[in-house]
């Protein structure tokens, strides 16, 4: 696939700002960017901003002038907390005087004791969906913490898939808002950061496993070699050249999951990914989900199998388009005084009577 057109500095900044620094890149070192607006390729890695540890700025003067013209004097477009402005322009006044001992101590104390609250990976407020004249989701409010596995559990037809579609941004909503990784659901900037696995496998049956993955890798702009990694992750090694049409239903579901894993997405939306799989493979996939969460990814996994709840860090229990409960598995057991999630769900149903809508 042909290389993508070079981004402007501001576009590259917006892309990098929401992503963690690549492994092996020390803080204060900028990623390669290019300015398509002026036609100058910035090319190699260079130290553009002076890190707070006092290491020198090795950027050439022509490049500094170029960056100043595009992004403004002394500004770090990526917004790294470890980057300090290199200098101030004349209209912004002189640099601040150095901190004396007491002011430095107060500033250090403030920096150590003011930790911003982590932005939820998913936030929904007042979310309502109407389909065919019937309200499917009723004024839902929820948050999904980052770096966790959240289980979306409930009987078939309770609105789980509609909620997941709303999070991905492919569902028309009647009211409320949904934010994903700090952006409105469905934003173009989220396409490479969110992996979505539907109930029905979303792959091409007339292509082989490897051909499907190479195609989706090209669409996402990730290296084709990433296909080998995800094939191994979902347990399809040795089946890369098999046509998808000749695979079993469970194997097709794994190809769809492999496509969603391409490019290391920050958020995975999985709609009943273990349905139809044997117990051994289900266990292997849940072990994979745990490793992904431990590495920092966020997973929202729907299921109507209550025994999978114990594998989740947090649970959202749904019934008839409403949330019955939101908490950890142990919190729900303590709240209902029951011994398992099945009993807890039934206890919540007995004590929570949803309103009947016309």
Q: Note whether residue 215 is domain-resident.
A: no
In total, how many domains does the chain have?
A: 2
Whether 31 contacts 22, CB under 8 Å: yes
Look at residue 158 in the predicted model and tell me its pLDDT: 92
188 and 283 belong to one structural domain:
yes
What are the two backbone dihedrals, phi and then psi, of residue 267, each rounded to the nearest 5 degrees? -130, 130
Chain centroid to CA 248: 29
Q: Note whether residue 47 is domain-resident.
A: yes
Q: Cβ atoms within 10 A of the Cβ of 198, count?
A: 19
Q: Note whether residue 198 is domain-resident.
A: no
131 and 28 belong to one structural domain:
no
Whether 338 contacts 347, CB under 8 Å: yes
The enclosing domain of 345 has a CATH number of 3.40.50.300
Look at residue 69 in the predicted model and tell me its pLDDT: 52
88 and 130 belong to one structural domain:
no
What is the Cα–Cα distance from 70 to 22, expressed in whole angstroms? 24
67 and 159 belong to one structural domain:
no
The torsion defined by the Cα of 293, 121, 187 and 138, in degrees rounded to 10, comes to: 120
Q: Note whether residue 238 is domain-resident.
A: no
Domain enclosing residue 21, as ranges: 9-93
Residues paired with 142 in a beta bridge: 124
28 and 81 belong to one structural domain:
yes
Look at residue 97 in the predicted model and tell me its pLDDT: 46
Mean pLDDT, each 10-residue run in order, the chain (358 residues): 42 39 42 35 37 44 49 44 39 45 51 61 96 94 95 91 96 95 94 92 93 93 92 93 92 93 96 86 90 95 86 94 92 90 86 56
Look at residue 102 in the predicted model and tell me its pLDDT: 53
185 and 271 belong to one structural domain:
yes
Look at residue 116 in the predicted model and tell me its pLDDT: 54
Look at residue 28 in the predicted model and tell me its pLDDT: 39
What is the Cα–Cα distance from 347 to 334, expressed in whole angstroms? 12
The model's pTM: 0.66
Look at residue 36 in the predicted model and tell me its pLDDT: 35
């Amino acid at each position: 696939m042909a290389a993508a057109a070079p981004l402007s500095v501001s576009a590259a900044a917006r892309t990098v700002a929401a992503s963690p620094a690549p492994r092996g890149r020390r803080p204060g070192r900028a990623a390669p960017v290019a300015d398509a607006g002026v036609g100058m390729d910035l090319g190699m890695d260079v130290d553009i901003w002076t890190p707070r540890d006092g290491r020198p700025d090795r950027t050439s003067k022509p490049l500094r002038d170029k960056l100043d013209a595009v992004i403004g004097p002394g500004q770090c477009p990526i917004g790294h907390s470890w980057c300090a402005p290199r200098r101030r322009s004349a209209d912004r006044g002189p640099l601040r005087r150095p901190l004396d001992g007491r002011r430095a101590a107060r500033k250090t104390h403030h920096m150590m004791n003011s930790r911003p609250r982590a932005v939820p990976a998913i936030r929904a407020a007042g979310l309502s969906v109407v389909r065919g004249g019937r309200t499917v989701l009723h004024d839902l409010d929820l948050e999904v913490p980052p770096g966790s596995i959240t289980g979306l559990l409930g009987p078939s037809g309770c609105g789980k898939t509609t909620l997941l579609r709303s999070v991905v941004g492919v569902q028309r909503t009647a009211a409320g808002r949904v934010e994903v990784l700090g952006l409105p659901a469905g934003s173009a900037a989220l396409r490479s950061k969110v992996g979505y696995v539907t109930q029905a496998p979303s792959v091409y049956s007339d292509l082989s496993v490897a051909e499907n993955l190479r195609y989706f890798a090209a669409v996402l702009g990730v290296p084709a070699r990433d296909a080998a990694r995800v094939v191994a992750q979902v347990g399809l090694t040795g089946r890369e050249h098999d046509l998808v049409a000749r695979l079993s239903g469970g194997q097709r579901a794994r190809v769809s999951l492999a496509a969603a894993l391409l490019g290391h997405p920050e958020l995975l939306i999985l709609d009943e990914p273990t349905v139809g799989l044997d117990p051994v493979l289900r266990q292997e996939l849940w072990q994979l989900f745990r490793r992904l969460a431990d590495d920092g990814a966020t997973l929202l996994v729907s299921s109507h199998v209550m025994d999978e709840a114990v594998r989740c860090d947090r649970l959202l229990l749904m019934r008839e388009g409403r949330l019955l409960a939101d908490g950890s598995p142990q919190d729900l057991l303590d709240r209902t005084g029951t011994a398992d999630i099945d009993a807890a769900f039934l206890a919540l149903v007995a004590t929570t009577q949803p309103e009947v809508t016309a």
